[in-house]
Chains A and B, each alone.
Chain A
């Protein structure tokens, strides 16, 4: 299945849920926020939110800034 992840094509054999994607990427859910097709996914929904073909996913965190 093909996803658009942070602006780039991303192939995964097991798209599953947001939580499974974060696990695959080794990203700790505590420090990020996730958007799917411009909608923010609440942390409580990570386990149940199913991803689909072509979904546009953004995963953001905090970096240095003023």
Chain B
């Protein structure tokens, strides 16, 4: 049986989603994304460079016909700003998806979940497909789901920290209660981190710095791809129970 992620009728070919920030250049961005196997890429909404019209555009390298473009509201600290950026992203005509961030604190980039909830409700009503970046808080995850989020995206750890999944038990509770897909977003550092997220039963992982910040981003992109696949298979396979004591793998029958 095929194991495809489907959100609001949209089929996703990969459970790994990647960002396009912090790369050396567009060429490296393109190669890393190809190596990751991701079909969703996040982008940010910013002013066009009016003075230098010769600067290249990200979309020259990331073809919107090939990838699902997921604009974010990174850098937005208020509901008003998050709505403004989301609506501009939608009006570009390139994507109805929005990775909704309402940031509450500069140092941790933790979300302002009260503002996030408000913005989620408004945008979902307007027809946006909202992916809400939130804390690893099971109560808030449920509230966002009820407010119309298409998927809830709890953080593993602060954005760009690479600390891995700090609270797997909360993620587990979020998963048990959720009726919408759960995508771990932000804070993973290496392939084992994404494997853990997938083994817990998450529907996908979104990351950026873990690839862009690696010594060899293209190799790490490939590692992440395999980490997600391995973790998903392990989840579907169902792991053996943990035991305190040994159980011999080899029979003692026939011993001398």
Chain A positions within 8 Å of B, measured between CB atoms, are: 5-8, 10, 25-27, 30-35, 38, 40, 42-43, 58-66
Contact = CB atoms under 8 A, between A and B. Distances in A.
Interface string B11-47: 0000000011111000001000000000000111111
Main secondary structure on B side of the interface with A: mixed
Contacts of B89: 33, 62
A7 B47 CA distance: 9
B190 interface: no
B48 A65 contact: no
Given A62-B45, A63-B43, A66-B21, A40 B72 contact: no
A60 B48 contact: yes
Contacts, number: 100
A64 B91 contact: no
Contacts of A38: 84
B contact residues, range: 35 or more
B59 A62 contact: yes
Contacts of A61: 45-46, 48, 57, 59, 92
A62 B43 contact: yes
B33 to A, nearest CB: 11
16 contacts: A6-B47, A6-B50, A26-B53, A33-B92, A35-B84, A58-B88, A60-B46, A62-B89, A64-B23, A64-B44, A65-B19, A65-B208, A66-B42, A66-B72, A66-B159, A66-B160
